[in-house]
Structure formats: C-alpha cells, structure tokens
C-alpha cells in the first residue's frame, strides 16, 4: 500500500504532470502539466506546483506553499524555465520558490534535505545547497548561491547575487548585502562578519586543532593593516595543508558581483568562544 498514490478529488492535476509512486496529494492542490512529483512526496493541501517544477522524492509540502511561479524579474520574456527541488525537503506553510529567468541561468535549484520554515522565499535563478535550514521569513533575492549546510535565521534577507559559503550561519533579522565566507557567522544591518560558526563546526566534529588553525587564518586574512588580497595569499602559503582553510581562501579568491562581508574595524570580530 505504500506505493499507492492517493489524490484528493478536489485537487487539479493537469494532463501531462508526472506523478510518482506513493504520492499523497491532499485537498485543493494544483499541479501543472509540466510538473514532476517524485515518489513518496506529500502535498498536504492547498499547494500550488506550477510550470516546470520538479519535487524530489520523500519531500513534504505544507499548505499555501507556491512552487514554480514565474520569476519576479522584468527581464523574463516568458520562456520555459525550471525549478528543481531535491529529495527529502520539508517546505512549510506559505513558502514560495520561483523558476529561473530565461535571460539568465534559467533554473532555480534547491538541494536535498532542506528545511524551509514558514514564509521563506527563494527567488529566481538561485542555487541552494544540501541540508539548508531557512528559519521563518528568510528571503533570497535572485541569483544567490548558497552552499551546503547553511543556516539562515528568521526574517533575514539576502541581497541578489550574494554568495554564501558552506557551513555559514546568517543570524536572524540581518541584511546580507555581500558574500559570506565558508564557516562564517554574519549578523547585523548591514551585516558584518562576527567570526566562525563555531557551534556548527563543533557539532560537525571538527577537531580543536583545526578550529585553532582556522582562527589564526581568520585573523591573518582580515588583518586591516594589509590589503586582503595580500593576506589571502599569505594564508594560502601558511595553511596549505588545511582543506577547510583552503575552501575559505578559494572562496575569497573568486570575486563575483558583491563585495565580501568583513569584520568590523573595532570589536565584534570574534566568535566569542575562545575557551578551547
């Protein structure tokens, strides 16, 4: 019976939609003709899956979520673009995720195991990595690139074209207008870098010796007495044996459309957890 698909009679499934096995579609849902619903997906009720949207297997979508609406981008000319949502995602009430823009990337991608709480928004042409957590009301502007294991606090807004590295933590009620390094902790309006996401790193089992090395590299990279480009090359030479630090160095060596978020000039630059 687990492989049996159940669709409430009040829901509208347009001809052409591909529905997997074991899918449960509750009352008053709408699934467009170009949509793909993976195995064991559950649409609880009042869910809209529009346009060329794919929902990965095992995902669960709560009422009033709208997935695959057209991009809020005046450059979009109406061509076919896509939204791809990975497996085992939890998408809570009122979440919105849009397809890509036909004059840009053309697709919005959300990785596996994401947890998107009520009223979060993922705009057109974003790429969100695996194991993301978006607290209530977290918002991405268009074209953002979010790494794996990123946690975004409630009511935090991320400016379009911003990159956020793996394992970063963006505190609640923050305005993120620049790129955030891997493992970084950013907070404030406009946000500043406040050190590393130490709690997340400890939970991941990172050795204390590596944490200390990362702190030394952090102080070197963000030494205001020297240009950042010079500091980054010093860190590349001194910490070449650390894959985690090299991930930060490589991130800082690839500049895109936004500047990098850095620590404040005085104070507030520590993660406040130096007892190790």
**Per-residue confidence of the chain (276 residues) as pLDDT tens digits?**
568 999 999 999 999 999 999 999 999 999 999 999 999 999 999 999 999 999 999 999 999 999 999 999 999 999 999 999 999 999 999 999 999 999 999 999 999 999 999 999 999 999 999 999 999 999 999 999 999 999 999 999 999 999 999 999 999 999 999 999 999 999 999 999 999 999 999 999 999 999 999 999 999 999 999 999 999 999 999 999 999 999 999 999 998 788 999 999 875 444 544 333
Cβ count within 10 A of residue 272 = 11
* Residue 64 lies inside a defined structural domain of this protein: yes
Residue range(s) defining the domain that contains residue 29? 6-143
Q: At 93, which CATH number?
A: 2.160.10.10
For the beta sheet containing 151-152, the strands, ordered from the edge strand earlier in sequence to the opposite edge, are 6-7, 24-25, 42-43, 60-61, 90-91, 115-116, 133-134, 151-152, 169-170, 184-188, 191-196
199's enclosing H/E stretch is: helix 198-203
CA distance 89 to 185: 24
* Residue 73 lies inside a defined structural domain of this protein: yes
* Residue 42 lies inside a defined structural domain of this protein: yes
* Residue 256 lies inside a defined structural domain of this protein: no
What does pTM read for this prediction? 0.94
* Residue 235 lies inside a defined structural domain of this protein: no
* Residue 249 lies inside a defined structural domain of this protein: no
* Residue 200 lies inside a defined structural domain of this protein: no
**Count of domains forming the chain:** 1
CA distance 244 to 181: 11
* Residue 81 lies inside a defined structural domain of this protein: yes
């Amino acid at each position: 019976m687990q492989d049996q698909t159940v669709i409430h009679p009040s829901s509208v499934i347009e001809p052409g939609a591909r529905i997997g096995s074991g899918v449960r579609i509750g009352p008053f849902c709408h699934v467009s003709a170009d949509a793909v619903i993976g195995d064991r997906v559950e649409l609880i009720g009042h869910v809209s899956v529009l346009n060329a949207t794919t929902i990965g297997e095992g995902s669960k979508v709560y009422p009033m979520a709208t997935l695959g609406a057209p991009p809020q981008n005046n450059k979009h000319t109406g061509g076919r673009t896509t939204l791809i949502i990975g497996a085992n995602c939890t998408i809570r009430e009122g979440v919105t995720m849009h397809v890509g823009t036909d004059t840009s990337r053309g697709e919005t991608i959300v990785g596996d195991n994401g947890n998107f709480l009520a009223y979060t928004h993922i705009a057109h042409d974003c790429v969100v990595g695996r194991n993301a957590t978006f607290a209530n009301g977290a918002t991405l502007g268009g074209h953002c690139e979010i790494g794996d294991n990123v946690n975004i606090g409630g009511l935090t807004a991320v400016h379009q074209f911003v990159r956020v590295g793996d394992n970063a933590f963006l505190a609640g009620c923050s305005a993120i207008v620049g790129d955030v390094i891997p493992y970084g902790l950013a907070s404030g309006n406009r946000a500043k870098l406040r050190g590393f996401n130490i709690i997340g790193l400890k939970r991941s089992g990172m050795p204390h010796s590596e944490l200390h090395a990362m702190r030394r590299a952090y102080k070197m990279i963000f030494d205001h007495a020297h240009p950042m480009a010079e500091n980054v090359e010093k860190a590349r030479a001194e910490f070449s044996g650390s894959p985690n630090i090299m991930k930060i160095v490589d991130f800082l060596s690839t500049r895109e459309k936004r500047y990098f978020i850095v620590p404040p000039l005085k104070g507030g630059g520590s993660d406040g957890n130096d007892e190790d």
